[in-house]
Structure 1
Amino acid sequence: MSLADQIPQDTAFHAKSTGAEVLADIDLTGKTAIVTGGYSGIGKETVRAMADRGARIIVPVRSAEKAKEQLADLTGDITTAPLDLADLTSVRQFADRMTDALPHLDLLINNAGIMATPETRVGPGWESQFGVNHMGHFALTRALMPLLEKAGVPRVVALSSTGHKITDIHWDDIQFAQTPYDKWQAYGQAKTANALFANALSRRMSSFGGTAFSVHPGGIFTPLQRHLPKEEMIALGWLGEDGEPSELAKQGFKSPEQGCSTTLWAATSPLLAGKAGLYCEDCNIAAPTQADAPRARYFGVDAHACDDDSAERLWQISEDLLAAA
């Protein structure tokens, strides 16, 4: 699971494929899935597409009322249960409920996340983007491992981002305790952590036939941008001066229905059988970043996000942080 393993395949899909297209020939009847963040944005479209193919889905929610409203137009075997990824007690309680209620867990989609937030501390003082995007999902996945082990060939999908290119892990100051807080550095670190997590997790699932993958869903306008002022999105080139999506965004951004497709491909594609820990984008395995390629900041995977040694180092740090919490 190194950079050399990042070899794109011949697939039937592309950047603008939808989740429904990816799952058209996949039967999920009898499969059980948990999708964090599954009641908004691409998470909701992930749930919709999986439910339409017969999966039983549990959506963890912070607000039962909001989730009920957001999921009202979906059909299928979809239930909710309370969970706050920023609260380790809540994570443990959710995992205990799932352990009591489910015979096994086939798919865990770690989709929820926050982006470029003001400096906030969660749990025992963790920087919030690292704490929610990585540590919350790390704790949840570890607690659900017995259920994953009981499934036939379980998969875990971690939502990363091309934002991993911003930075490697800030190994000497992960929590920004000494370093001045920078919301984009914190986001980039968290997205690198998501990719390294899938790398290390796959080794821990190999004994029972499980695999894990990280994915970049693509640029999508979703509630993930809620902390970004319009002026900043204009400066980033996502919006025009009129506040409407820019030509760049119109050409490159995906709809939520398209944005969920790489997640679903990573969760179900037969092409990934026997592979593990890889970083995927546009319904395919991502190629290593070509620094001199046009728009290199948007495509491919950087070496620091698929380094086995870094993945193991982060796993041990995460274990230690969880033990001390």
Structure 2
Amino acid sequence: MSATWTEQHIPDQRGRVAVVTGANTGLGFETARMLAERGAAVVLAVRDTAKGRQAAARIAGDVTVQALDLTSLESIRSAAADLRANHPRIDLLINNAGVMYTPKQTTADGFELQFGTNHLGHFALTGLLMKQLLPVPGSRIVTVSSVGHRIRAAIHFDDLQWEHSYNRIGAYGQAKLANLMFTYELQRRLAPHGTTVAVAAHPGVSNTELMRNSPAVLRVPLTWLAPLITQKAAMGALPTLRAATDPTVIGGQYYGPSGRGEVRGYPKLVTSSTESHDQLTQQRLWTVSEELTGVTFPLPAHSPN
């Protein structure tokens, strides 16, 4: 495996269909751009379709736009129905969209915004598209997590929606930990089928709009330090692209930057927290996620080892 995996290592994607959430800007845009330039038919699944069309116009290749608001289960179901109608097969589903460090808010369905958007929205979308993915040999589901899954992170089953007290950093950590737990449990359920794999990735610290909701105490230092500690979105997208396209990838892996602290650098195989691998918690989160979203997967559970 190359130590400097770059955009040039992305294999030919002709004949493949890729759905990328949050693809009108930042990491999602760069992910979609590179896939399209390698020949994939790419769907930009975005909340603001006007911005999505502007983004599509900047990408060379077969690019379409799909309305998707991950803060609304109604929108997710509608988007999934459109995608199923327009794409009998999907080769890549890249769960990229997300919010970070937002003030206390809820989704249209009453979920805490970060948990609802980053985890529950993608959980529901993936389940609703599973029948488009499962028959396709080599199909992949890539979910974008964060180094934040280690920071004040736990799955607070006693207060998943942070109704009793709210900490934006803790809520983000919970959501990103949930992304990893979802990936690992999904891969365990997919393994018997042998066609689709679930992989996770994180972008390190990338200079994108995601940081705009950082607490004020962090925002000013980050503005000054950004050129020194962050990397461009095109570099931040590489772990996702490697997880999505590298032929050596296997299900259940996690990719991130190779530099110190996984902040920046070329993508490599990385490890996640011990807590993220707790299979009983993964299964409990899965069950709760099905109950909250009303979406069930056509995949049976498997007992922890």
TM-score of the pair, normalised by structure 2: 0.88
Tell me which amino acid in the other structure corresponds to 2:240.
T
Other-structure match for 1:320:
291
* Deviation (angstroms), 1:171: 2.3
Measured in 2, the distance between the counterparts of 1:73 and 1:125 equals: 35
Q: How does 1:140-289 map to 2 (within 5 A)?
A: 140-166=125-151, 167-178=153-164, 180-206=165-191, 207-228=193-214, 231-234=217-220, 237-240=221-224, 246=225, 249-272=226-249, 275-282=250-257, 283-287=267-271
Post-superposition offset of 1:70: 2.8
What is the rounded CA distance, in whole Å, between the counterparts of 1:155 and 1:146 in structure 2? 13
2:50 is the alignment partner of 1:73: no
Alpha-carbon deviation of 1:230? 5.7
- Alignment correspondent of 1:39: 24
C-alpha contact 1:115 1:224 (8 A) present in aligned 2: yes
The Cα RMSD (Å) is 1.6
Change over 3 Å in CA distance of 1:78–1:231 after alignment to 2: same
Q: CA deviation at 1:251?
A: 4.1
Question: Once the 2 structures are TM-superposed, how far is the Cα of residue 194 of structure 1 from its aligned partner?
Answer: 0.4
| 1:93 match | 78
Residues 282-304 of structure 1 show CA distances to partners (whole Å, capped at 9, x for unaligned) of 222213xxxxxxxxxxxxx2111
Residue in structure 2 matching 1:12, options 2, 22, 29: 2
- Mapped to 1, the partners of 2:194 and 2:129 lie a distance apart of 14
| Conserved? CA contact 2:154–2:173, under 8 Å | yes
Gaps of 5+ in 1: 1-10, 241-245, 288-300
- How far the C-alpha of 1:100 sits from its partner, in A, is 1.2
Distance 2:42 2:51 in 1: 17
1:224 counterpart letter in structure 2: L
- 2-side partners of 1:318 and 1:204: how far apart? 15
Give the ranges of 4+ consecutive aligned residues of structure 1 lying more than 3 Å apart after TM superposition.
Answer: 249-252
Query: SS where residue 66 of structure 2 aligns?
Result: strand
Separation in structure 1 between the aligned mates of residue 122 and residue 202 of structure 2, nearest angstrom? 17
Mean alpha-carbon deviation: is it higher for 222-231 or for 87-96?
A: 222-231
Q: Which has the higher contact order (CA 8 A, sep 6+)?
A: 1
Runs of 5+ unmatched residues, structure 2: 258-266, 296-305
Contact 2:72 2:109 in 1 (8 A): no
Q: Which amino acid aligns with 2:155?
A: I
Counterpart-to-counterpart distance in 1, 2:205 and 2:89: 33
Query: Percent identity between the aligned chains?
Result: 38
> What's 1:295 paired with?
none
For 2:232, the aligned partner's letter is S
Q: Which amino acid aligns with 1:209?
A: T
Inter-partner Cα distance in structure 1 for 2:253 and 2:283: 15
- 1 CA distance for matches of 2:120 and 2:244? 21
Amino acid at match of 2:158: D
**1:21 is the counterpart of 2:11:** no
